[in-house]
Amino acid sequence: MARKTAASAGVSRSRDDEVEGLDSTEDDGLGEYPIDTLLIRTETRTVFDVVRRIRGGGFVMNPDFQRDFVWPPEKQSKLIESVLMRIPLPVFYLAENKKGQTVVVDGLQRLSTFESFLGDKVSLHLPEQESLHRRKFTNLSEKLQNRIEDCQLVLYIIDSKVPERAKLDIFERVNSGEPLTRQQMRNCLYMGPATNWLKTEAKTDLFVRATGESLDAGKMRDREFVNRFCAFRLVGFNEYRKDMDAFLARSLELMNELSEEQLNDLSRQFRLALENNFALFDRHAFRKHQPHQSELNPINASLWDVMTTGLARYPTNVVSRKADNFRERFFTLLDDEEFNSAITYSPNSTKCVRRRFELGETLFREVFGDYPG
């Protein structure tokens, strides 16, 4: 049976049109989560108290997804001026992680400004306010210093017990800057050895070559794909339960507890998978395609899941020896209507995830035989 393409089937692609086979969970909203169960509380703290917590490491202030501190001196100065003029500030949104830290969701630039100014790292740029222009915090009168330190900030804090998907939905709704992707949010909430590992693996020449530079690094789409490999390799497709956000987060939690030796072994598996896939399919790796096809189709996330985890288990010499047989059976699998549907339509459903892995496992066993778990 002729295989349907994403275009002919009317399947929508990602925003950058470089990825196929992703459910668009980013627009689903809070859905099944009643608002009174989301454990969002309001706290009021002074600037002095918040800066103290920042300096003590209680607030996560510089995750990769938040751009480096970019407010110019003029904008920082306007914030301090607003406080001195007693102009109410917008609320701040934060989220607790499982380490007990408070992650800044919305308000990083404002909080960074307070920390910098109270630390005498910046001077005010207010040429129209002669009494304030070019002054640092310690150059202000005690009265004005107290006014800044005593300023009340309203914090909305998302509890760590909030379900992963709901947390990311809230995260997405309240961020007032450039919209963030789910992976950028995860990168903040699970910072540690895991997120550093994703960053390292996504920057290798091997990864860039195997994915054809099709994954937007700025939106961390590349790290999301690496994250998917880790989730299906470490947690396993049999443990998947409908929610990709929770599944990917679970793998990051696990990775943050792994030893350096274990992470190095995971890296070896991942790079082996990339080498094997690229050796078999060259620039068409992880993409639906026909033998001898010249046109390059979008990378398919669901195909990536199956092919990376599957080919992470075999030495390159074994794959090379059976390459022709594997490619023949692979193209037969792509022509299978059930498999094609499972990597194209509602790909994040439990049924589709399990079915495509089951069919993929059959392929690997038929070609390579049994392998250690």
53-92 pLDDT, tens digit per residue, is 999 988 887 655 455 556 899 999 999 999 999 999 989 8
Residue 54 within any structural domain of the chain: yes
Could you tell me if residue 191 is inside a domain? Answer: yes
What Å distances lie between residue 316 and 243, 269, 273, 307, 327, CA to CA?
A: 33, 11, 9, 14, 15
Kindly state whether residues 273 and 129 are assigned to the same domain.
no
Q: Is the pLDDT of residue 33 over 70?
A: no
Does a structural domain hold residue 168? no
Measured CA to CA, the distance from residue 10 to residue 1 in angstroms comes to: 18
Residue recorded with tokens 């703290």: 45
* Confidence label for 3 from pLDDT (cuts 50, 70 and 90): very low
- Residue 40, classed as helix, strand or coil, is strand
Q: Are residues 152 and 191 in the same domain?
A: no
Q: How far apart are CA 111 and CA 20, in angstroms?
A: 38
Cα(236)–Cα(229) distance, rounded to whole angstroms? 10
Residues 3, 340: contact at Cβ < 8 Å?
yes
Q: Are residues 85 and 127 in the same domain?
A: yes
The yes-or-no verdict on residue 35 having pLDDT over 80 is: no
Single-letter residue type at 195: T
Q: Are residues 206 and 233 in the same domain?
A: yes
Residues 153 and 301 in one domain: no
Domain boundary among 126, 161, 196: 161
Identify whether 109 is part of a domain: yes
Amino acid in position 213:
E
Other residues' Cβ atoms within 10 Å of the Cβ of residue 4: 16
Tokens of 190: 């699970």
Residue 286 CA: distances (Å) to CA of 214, 343, 359:
11, 11, 16
Q: Residue 300 forms beta bridges with which residues?
A: 20
CB 84 within 8 A of CB 93: no
For residues 82-105, average pLDDT = 87
Question: Are 211 and 338 in a shared domain?
Answer: yes
Does any domain span residue 1?
no
Q: Do 202 and 264 belong together in one domain?
A: yes
Q: What is the pLDDT of residue 189?
A: 79
The verdict on 103 and 191 lying in the same domain is no
Q: Is the dihedral of CA 190, 261, 301, 18 positive or negative?
A: positive
Cα–Cα distance for residue pair 209/20, rounded to 1 Å: 18
Mind spelling out the 3-state secondary structure of the chain?
A: CCCCCCCCCCCCCCCCCCEECCCCHHHCCCCCCCHHHCCEEEEEEEHHHHHHHHHCCCEECCCCCCCCCCCCHHHHHHHHHHHHCCCCCCCEEEEECCCCCEEEEECHHHHHHHHHHHCCCCCCCCCCCCCCCCCCHHHCCHHHHHHHHCCEEEEEEECCCCCHHHHHHHHHHHCCCCCCCHHHHHHHHCCCHHHHHHHHHHCCHHHHHHCCCCCCCCCCHHHHHHHHHHHHHHCCHHHCCCCHHHHHHHHHHHHCCCCHHHHHHHHHHHHHHHHHHHHHHHHHCCECCCCCCCCCCCEEHHHHHHHHHHHCCCCHHHHHHCHHHHHHHHHHHHCCHHHHHHCCCCCCCHHHHHHHHHHHHHHHHHHHCCCCC
Q: How confident is the model at residue 158 (pLDDT cuts 50, 70, 90)?
A: confident
Does pTM surpass 0.85? Answer: no
Q: Of 161, 189, 208, which one is at a domain's C-terminal end?
A: 161
pLDDT over 90 at 135, yes or no: yes
Domain carrying residue 269: 19-30+178-368
Q: Number of C-alpha atoms within 13 angstroms, CB side, residue 105?
A: 27
| Residue 121, in any domain of the structure | yes
Verify that 143 and 238 share a domain, yes or no. Answer: no
Is 65 strand, coil or helix? coil
Q: What is the pLDDT of residues 252-261, one digit of tens each?
A: 999 999 999 9
Single out the residue in 108, 134, 161 at which a domain terminates: 161
pLDDT grade for 179, boundaries at 50, 70 and 90: low
Judgement on whether residues 129 and 192 belong to the same structural domain of the protein: no
Asked if 66 contacts 59 with a C-beta cutoff of 8 angstroms, the reply is no
Task: For residues 313 and 147, give the distance between their C-alpha atoms in angstroms, rounded to a whole number.
Answer: 62
**Does residue 24 fall inside a structural domain?**
yes
23 plus 44 within the same structural domain: no
Indicate if the pLDDT at residue 162 is higher than 90: no
DSSP-derived 3-state class of residue 132: coil
48 and 124 part of one domain: yes
User: Residue 227 corresponds to which amino acid?
Assistant: N
Whether residue 171 is contained in a domain is answered as no
Q: How does pLDDT run across 311-350, given as a tens digit for each residue?
A: 999 999 999 999 999 999 999 999 999 999 999 999 999 9
Of the listed ranges 75-84, 96-105, 173-182, 289-298, the one predicted with least confidence: 173-182
Contact present, 122 and 76 (Cβ < 8 Å): yes
- Count of structural domains, the chain: 2
Distance from C-alpha of 7 to C-alpha of 20, rounded to nearest angstrom: 10
